[in-house]
Structure 1
Amino acid sequence: MEYLSSIILFAVFSSITPGPNNVMVMTSGLNFGVKESLPLLSGICVGFATMLLLVGFGIGQLFILFPELNLTLKMVGATYLFYLAWLIAKNHNMRSENRQSQPLGFFKGFIFQWVNAKAWIVAIGAVATFSNSADTSVVESFYIAMVFFFISFPCVGVWLMFGSLLREKFKSTRYLRWFNVSMSALLVFSILPILRDIFLHLQIF
């Protein structure tokens, strides 16, 4: 029971604290509402649980054996995050006023986990902390992944609900534009440590 409680606390803290996932979900909740944003929320939760499961199977060791793979992931991740930030920044109307705009869907949320630096740090940290042996078993990995899956839905969902509640406050196009650009800037800001690592790596080589 103590083992489960520790995993739950770790999952709650890592899922509910600010990060790229929560920024995207909150922004989607504001612009499109809860129902339209559920695919994005589902993609994030399923994508992270899948990634955590594979980390438990040893995929994280690939970054130690092949540093170039880590660099490639960071470069792809930074590019993809810039793309998502651009999608958020260019939307200036709520769904009811702009039928052509589309919320980020399940696939974008799922794929983003694989290029999300915070997600990798949490996944590797969770497996390293809660594995009882050097060779993590399949059952152990599945157990940790399932705990995170069920915890992340309500924790990240809090940000979705918060964004939805802000819809009444941001009906003005001007305020909505300001909010979206601000959230886009936060996503870009989260890339800075990744860009620093990329530049340092390129200087070495």
Structure 2
Amino acid sequence: MILTLELLLFVFAGLFSPGPNVILLTASGARFGFRPTVPHVLGVAVGVGVTAGLTGLGLGALLQAMPVLKLVLQVIAAGWILWLAYKLFRSTRTKRQEAGDKPFTFIEAVLFQWVNPKVWAVAFAASAFVADQGPIGAGAALAVAFAGINLCVCLFWSSAGHLLGRLLADERLWRIFMTVMASLMACSAALIFL
């Protein structure tokens, strides 16, 4: 397993930029606070690491070779992301007004990575940096790079959301913020099919 500076910088740029995880973690930090969002943060880091590692082991090539399986995954991903966008849009400033309204659990965050198009796209692209390491080395390098970097990225965005939540005490500002988050999330569903 070899982690190059190029790989690390590419993974950082890919994961730090806005996408479904960044949007959900920022909104969760704003809505529920940092501490309740920690299981979500940890689940994203582990889930992204597993997804990237499996991509390096050959799952990415398998998905590319089986267009029907890829299409099924894309449809499921688009549906789940649109549902999450709807939930964000409907969210209220009151932290737990609706029954069952809570941040993602660790397991939900891990599972979300299987339908997160941005993670797959970055993992597919990053696998070019480790192609010469063989499947085991490539899988390990991608898993470590993605999980480690994404933990830091997730901590940043959930903390930023928590701080932003304090500034959004006004219901009108809160509604604008959540509408923007939901709109960005919905737009990311369209990117699945590109």
> 1:170 touches 1:176 (CA, 8 Å); kept in 2?
yes
1:194 paired residue number: 192
CA deviations over 1:8-31 (Å, ceiling 9, x no partner): 212211121111110110000100
Alpha-carbon distance between aligned partners in 2 of 1:105 and 1:83, rounded to the nearest angstrom = 17
Count of paired positions: 192
Letter in 2 for 1:152: N
* TM-aligned CA deviation for residue 3 of structure 1: 4.8
> 1:81 touches 1:191 (CA, 8 Å); kept in 2?
yes
Per the alignment, in what secondary structure is the counterpart of residue 93 of structure 1? coil
| Shift >6 Å, 4+ stretches | none
* TM-aligned CA deviation for residue 4 of structure 1: 2.6
CA distance 1:137–1:71, shift in 2 (3 Å): closer
* TM-aligned CA deviation for residue 109 of structure 1: 1.6
Alpha-carbon distance between aligned partners in 1 of 2:192 and 2:5, rounded to the nearest angstrom = 32
* TM-aligned CA deviation for residue 175 of structure 1: 2.2
Alpha-carbon distance between aligned partners in 1 of 2:167 and 2:146, rounded to the nearest angstrom = 32
CA deviations over 1:46-77 (Å, ceiling 9, x no partner): 11100111111111122232111111111000
Letter in 1 for 2:66: F
Alpha-carbon distance between aligned partners in 2 of 1:11 and 1:192, rounded to the nearest angstrom = 22
1:181 paired residue number: 179
1:172 aligns with 2:170: yes
Structure 2 length-normalised TM: 0.90
Equivalences for 1:116-195 in 2 at 5 Å? 116-133=116-133, 136-194=134-192
Structure 1: tracts of 5 or more residues without a match: 198-205
Select between 18-27 and 108-117 the one with higher mean Cα deviation. 108-117
Alpha-carbon distance between aligned partners in 2 of 1:193 and 1:13, rounded to the nearest angstrom = 18
Per the alignment, in what secondary structure is the counterpart of residue 174 of structure 1? helix
Per the alignment, in what secondary structure is the counterpart of residue 59 of structure 2? coil
Percent of matched pairs sharing the same residue: 28
